[in-house]
Amino acid sequence: MSLKLKPYEVISFHPCFLTKIPRLAPSRGKTSHRGIQQRQYVNCPRILTNRPLTTVRTLVRGSPRIMCSRPYSKPADTNMPQLSFSEGGLHRAVISFGSNLTKESRITNIESALKHIKDSGLQITKTSHLYETKPMYYDDQEAFLNGVCEVETTLPPLDLLDLLQGIESRLGRVRSIRNGPRTIDLDVLLYDNDHIKHDRLHVPHPLMLEREFVLRPLCDILPDLILPPSFSPNASTRSIRQHFESLTPKDPTMSSVTVMGIGSAHGHGGLIRSQDPNRRTLVMAILNATPDSFSNTKLSNFESSPSARRQHLDQIITAGLDILDIGGQSTRPGATFISAEEELARVMPWITAMRAQSCHAAIPISVDTFHSLVARESIRAGADIINDVSAGTLDDRMLATVAELGKTIILMHMRGNPQTMTTLTDYPEGVVTGVRQELAQRVKDALAAGIYPWRIILDPGIGFAKDEGQNLELLRHLHVLRKPPLDGIDDLSNFAWLVGTSRKGFIGKITDISEPDQRQYGTAATVIASIAGGADMVRVHDIYPMAQVVRMSDAIYRRRDSSYNTRPASADDHGAESDTSSFVLGDQQIDAAKNSKVK
């Protein structure tokens, strides 16, 4: 005998143990296959089973592990954003991930877990930024990196849980102290719009509304999502964003992070904490391995032998760089492109020389290129970052290549190419809005290609498809790009920002200095403006003087006074970097640094 149900009501079989999805279409009073009267199921949830379904009563009797049931009611507001089945009939779930063992391995652990998730047949549709967070509940442990992702899957909840726990085991998680240190932690936060209570799994996660490290990344991907009313306090219909905004107290030290490389010479763990008000601005040193750079300097004296290259690298590293940016293709206005093969011939000896010295192994290498072939071979040789002035527009394989190789990309705003960009300076809504909108589209394309948000750095492209006034406007309003827009659209506030103004033409015009290598003072003013506007990294030719400008600017705008000179790395918030390794130099080192210029 069948158990008949009224329209819009069904015993809520939470599919914790279930594997099959029969679609129950309405019929004209016919008894369905397997004995269920389908006309009673108009707009009802799917019933899932892993055994032949004879009657609903049989299913109830055969399911002792179901821990709760609830009536299904038609939502009062059908436009309310909810996590539901995808267009392809797959389940949507949200998975949280986190790691704090060890500080140097957290990124590797998280990205390995996400690769296992993809390789297991789940499709990751959205990924949040990564946030460095203080531990909760058990304080005697390292800081965590936390994030969330949305997936589409055919798996029912318990099978999904088993899959995630299997990944944890493969990555070396040992369950010892509750809420204690872990190599990787994977949790099912949400599953469709279900409220599941099972002896192994509660969804939505019962503690998610008190955890900033869950709500903040959820706001990145599903800010307007409404949780099941049966789960929300007082059956509220507040969105994820509203739950986050009402959370008190919030952790003022929590910050999104961006990956430069695994490890760091200066103690910052290879991460940029772009929302940390006391973060140190990083110095990216330019090494132009090209004879036609606008800076009018040549590398011929340093290309004669590997030993000469090593000596030059020692000098510029001593001067105080954090990242070395190697370029073999000039992108000055009007420059003629060279082939990828010729570009590789220029940059590879420098990458090889850098990586051959163990003392420099932890310094990230960036390669300034828009060729995907150059990017691929440079990464294989040891590069950590691809600095693409076209943000992937000049080579449609670039974004996919960087995603495949799991490295970080700098997306710079540019229109056209070096031959045409000086004519493409019309921004109907203003240059700041135009740059935001166009960079936001490049970010979407990078994410769609599979690059994670924490592996994207943005550059407003000073001097590229901008005139003098527009360059100055961007420097004045960089802080606007760094803040969430009022309408919430094209929000780039969680990304790290690089600004490159060094020796550029608009500085020469304003200061009336024609020789690029004599524009240090004008460059210094733009570096200060960049840091005041929120830049996380500045790209410079003259390392030693600009490192001092950065240090003083950080003292003014980032409150990094002289106490940071001797502070050990472990004493800084979340193990942030100590400045001493870059700037405490002996007399001979200082002399060498003053005399060295990055070419």
Give the residue numbers annotated as catalytic, written as ranges.
504, 539
Tokens of 389: 């002035």
Residue 94's nearest CA partner among 180, 205, 195, 177 is 205
Residue 277's alpha-carbon distances to 256, 423, 558, in angstroms, are 12, 38, 6
Distance CA 131, CA 497 (A): 16
- Residues contacting residue 583 through CB under 8 Å, at least 6 positions apart: 320, 547, 551, 565
Burial (Cβ within 10 Å: 0-12, 13-18, ≥19) of residue 298: middle
- Residues contacting residue 31 through CB under 8 Å, at least 6 positions apart: 2, 37
Q: Which amino acid is at 281?
A: T
Per-residue 3-state assignment (H helix, E strand, C coil) for 489-505: CCCCCCCEEEEECCCCH
- Residues contacting residue 151 through CB under 8 Å, at least 6 positions apart: 92, 93, 94, 95, 117, 122, 123, 124, 125
Residue 168's alpha-carbon distances to 101, 149, 174, 185, in angstroms, are 13, 16, 9, 7
Distance CA 436, CA 452 (A): 19
Question: On the CB side of 300, how many CA atoms lie within 13 Å of its CA?
Answer: 5
Tokens of 8: 């819009």
Distance CA 370, CA 391 (A): 8
| Positive or negative torsion for Cα 110, 112, 117, 123 | positive
DSSP 70-116: ------S-TTS------TTS-EEEEEEEEE-S-TTTHHHHHHHHHHH
| Residues 173-189: b if buried by 16+ CB within 10 A, e if exposed | beeeeeeebbbbbbbbb
Q: Pairing mode, if any, of strands 282-288 and 323-327?
A: parallel
Residue 460's nearest CA partner among 474, 444, 470 is 474
Distance CA 593, CA 75 (A): 68
